[in-house]
């Protein structure tokens, strides 16, 4: 039986992943800052720890998803420090702990995001895992997070970094987008030409399990094969909900309301494609945005 340690296991991706991993007959341990709260979210067969020194067995696979929510607040200096520390220091602490272990994890799967590739407004060139890092905050954050995880290669671990798109599921971005769209007040953001690479939560979970079971390493774009622009996203969501999508949000409003966070995450985006997963033979359950949204919103 494999032992899997998950950080951020109480979060949106983590809780869905833990449920699926238990069906593989793996032992799942979640490291949480608040095990009491995590116990109400996760199945009772998940072991909870709040300190790595509570581990009593070796860990075969480490899945590192912990990090303060990136799009919850404006990026003040203090918030940027929290976003960075919650990812980099958590990963450093894991590395420090496992460096001194007789048996470090053979596989490390660690978070990252498509923010790695930066903006590229209205750039229609597909971006693969070879895409370059960009000179902005979210890109640097992803690059630093990946570098801290890559240290595990020194311990002989196979390391895979998940450059994740907007995950669509019962929580996350979709939950925030739904209220205005349900009221018929949704619409594109600014010109709507910025790309919004997305992925269904079931594929996100299945990709992590695929990365455990297959020999994949380095960065992996976790996005559906058919990315859409923001305009197309708004049109499709409105169509699935049978509502109009006529109320655009001007760029100036986004910048006023959300500052740099709105600029980098809402007004910019790249046409990211999952080249590595496709080359490795991963079969997506949801290729198409309309069917993904239809399944999640029960309209298929």
Contact footprint for ligand NAP (CB under 6 A): 8, 10-14, 32-34, 38, 65-70, 82, 86, 90, 111, 113, 164, 166-167, 172-173
Q: Which CB sits closer to ligand NAP, 69 or 250?
A: 69
Tell the smallest beta-carbon distance from residue 68 to ligand NAP (Å).
4
Tell the smallest beta-carbon distance from residue 149 to ligand NAP (Å).
12
Tell the smallest beta-carbon distance from residue 71 to ligand NAP (Å).
8
Rounded Cα distance between 185 and 241, Å, is: 12
Q: Which CB sits closer to ligand NAP, 51 or 100?
A: 51
Q: Which CB sits closer to ligand NAP, 25 or 63?
A: 63
Q: Which CB sits closer to ligand NAP, 70 or 212?
A: 70
Tell the smallest beta-carbon distance from residue 183 to ligand NAP (Å).
23
Q: Which CB sits closer to ligand NAP, 167 or 241?
A: 167
SS3 of the chain: the string is CCEEEEECCCCHHHHHHHHHHHCCCCEEEEECCCHHHHHHHCCCCCEEECCHHHCCCCCCEEEECCCCCCCCCCCCHHHHHHHHHHHHHHHHHHHHHHHCCCCCCCEEEEEEEHHHHCCCCCCCCCECCCCCCCCCHHHHHHHHHHHHHHHHHHHCCEEEEEEECEEECCCCHHHHHHHHHHCCCCCCECCCCCEECEEEHHHHHHHHHHHHHCCCCEEEEECCCCCEEHHHHHHHHHHHHCCCCCCCECHHHHHHHHHHHHHHHHCCCCCECCHHHHHCCCCCCCCCHHHHHHHHCCCC
Q: Which CB sits closer to ligand NAP, 43 or 69?
A: 69
Buried b (16+ CB within 10 A) or exposed e, 271-280: bbbbbbbeee
Tell the smallest beta-carbon distance from residue 89 to ligand NAP (Å).
8
Tell the smallest beta-carbon distance from residue 72 to ligand NAP (Å).
8
Tell the smallest beta-carbon distance from residue 138 to ligand NAP (Å).
10
Tell the smallest beta-carbon distance from residue 198 to ligand NAP (Å).
9
Query: Is residue 92 within 8 Å of 42, Cβ to Cβ?
Result: no
Query: Is residue 167 within 8 Å of 133, Cβ to Cβ?
Result: no
Q: Which CB sits closer to ligand NAP, 247 or 263?
A: 263
Q: Which CB sits closer to ligand NAP, 153 or 170?
A: 170
* CA-wise closest residue to 238 among 188, 189, 288: 188
């Amino acid at each position: 039986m494999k032992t899997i340690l998950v950080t951020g296991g109480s979060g949106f991706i983590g809780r869905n992943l833990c449920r699926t991993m238990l069906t593989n007959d793996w032992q799942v341990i979640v490291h949480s800052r608040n095990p009491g709260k995590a116990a109400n979210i996760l199945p009772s067969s998940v072991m909870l720890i709040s300190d790595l020194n509570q581990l009593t067995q070796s860990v075969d696979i480490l899945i590192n998803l912990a990090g303060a929510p990136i799009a919850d607040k404006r990026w003040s200096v203090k918030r940027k420090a929290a976003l960075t520390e919650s990812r980099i220091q958590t990963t450093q602490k894991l590395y420090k702990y496992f460096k001194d272990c007789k048996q470090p994890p053979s596989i490390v799967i660690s978070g990252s995001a498509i923010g790695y590739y930066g903006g590229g407004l209205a750039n229609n060139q597909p971006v693969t895992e070879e895409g370059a890092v960009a000179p902005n905050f979210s890109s640097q954050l992803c690059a630093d997070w990946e570098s801290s995880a890559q240290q595990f290669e020194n311990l002989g671990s196979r390391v895979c970094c998940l450059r994740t798109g907007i995950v669509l599921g019962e929580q996350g971005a979709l939950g925030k987008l739904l209220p205005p769209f349900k009221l018929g007040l949704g619409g594109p953001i600014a010109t709507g030409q910025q790309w919004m690479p997305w992925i269904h939560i079931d594929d996100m979970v299945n990709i992590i399990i695929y990365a455990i079971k297959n020999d994949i390493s380095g960065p992996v774009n976790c996005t559906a094969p058919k990315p859409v622009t923001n305009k197309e996203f708004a049109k499709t969501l409105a169509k699935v909900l049978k509502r109009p999508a006529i109320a655009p949000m001007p760029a100036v409003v986004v910048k006023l309301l959300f500052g740099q966070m709105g600029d980098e995450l809402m007004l910019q985006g790249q046409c990211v494609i999952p080249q590595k997963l496709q080359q490795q033979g991963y079969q997506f359950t949801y290729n198409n945005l309309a069917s993904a949204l239809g399944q999640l919103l029960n309209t298929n």
